[in-house]
Amino acid sequence: MPRDFIKSFRGWTISESNVGVAFIGAGIVAEMHGRAVAANPNAKLVGIYDPKTARAKAVARKFGGKVFGSFEEALDHPKVNAIHVLTPPERHREVALKSLRAGKHVLVEKPVAWRAADIKKLQAAATNANRICMPAHNYIYNPALRRAKRLIDEGKLGRISSLWVLHNIYHSEDVASRYGGVLRAVCVHHAYSLLYLLGGPLRLTATASCIHYQRLTCEDQAMIVCQMANGAIANLWCSFAAKDLTSDPWTVVYKVLGTDGGVTCSWNEAQFEDNRGPGWGLPCYEESFRHEIDHFINRCVLGGEQPLSTLGEALDALRIIEAAERSCRGRGGMETVDYKH
Ligand X SMILES: NC(=O)c1ccc[n+]([C@@H]2O[C@H](COP(=O)([O-])OP(=O)(O)OC[C@H]3O[C@@H](n4cnc5c(N)ncnc54)[C@H](O)[C@@H]3O)[C@@H](O)[C@H]2O)c1
Contact 269, 284 (CB under 8 A): yes
Stretch that binds ligand X, among 21-29, 231-239, 301-309, 323-331 (CB under 6 A): 21-29
In the complex, minimum distance from the CB of residue 263 to ligand X, in angstroms, rounded to a whole number: 21
Among 19, 21, 22, 26, binds ligand X (CB under 6 A): 26
Contact between 299 and ligand X per CB under 6 A = no
Stretch that binds ligand X, among 83-91, 120-128, 144-152, 295-303 (CB under 6 A): 83-91
Contact between 307 and ligand X per CB under 6 A = no
Please count the residues of this chain forming the interface with ligand X, following the rule CB under 6 A.
Answer: 25
Stretch that binds ligand X, among 48-56, 59-67, 252-260, 322-330 (CB under 6 A): 48-56
Convert residues 137-176 into a mask of x (bound to ligand X by CB under 6 A) and - (unbound). -x--------------------------------------
Contact between 212 and ligand X per CB under 6 A = no
Stretch that binds ligand X, among 25-33, 238-246, 293-301, 327-335 (CB under 6 A): 25-33
In the complex, minimum distance from the CB of residue 92 to ligand X, in angstroms, rounded to a whole number: 7
Contact between 18 and ligand X per CB under 6 A = no
Contact 71, 24 (CB under 8 A): yes
Contact between 27 and ligand X per CB under 6 A = yes
- Interface positions with ligand X (CB under 6 A): 24-30, 49-52, 55, 71, 86-89, 91, 109-110, 136, 138, 178-179, 185
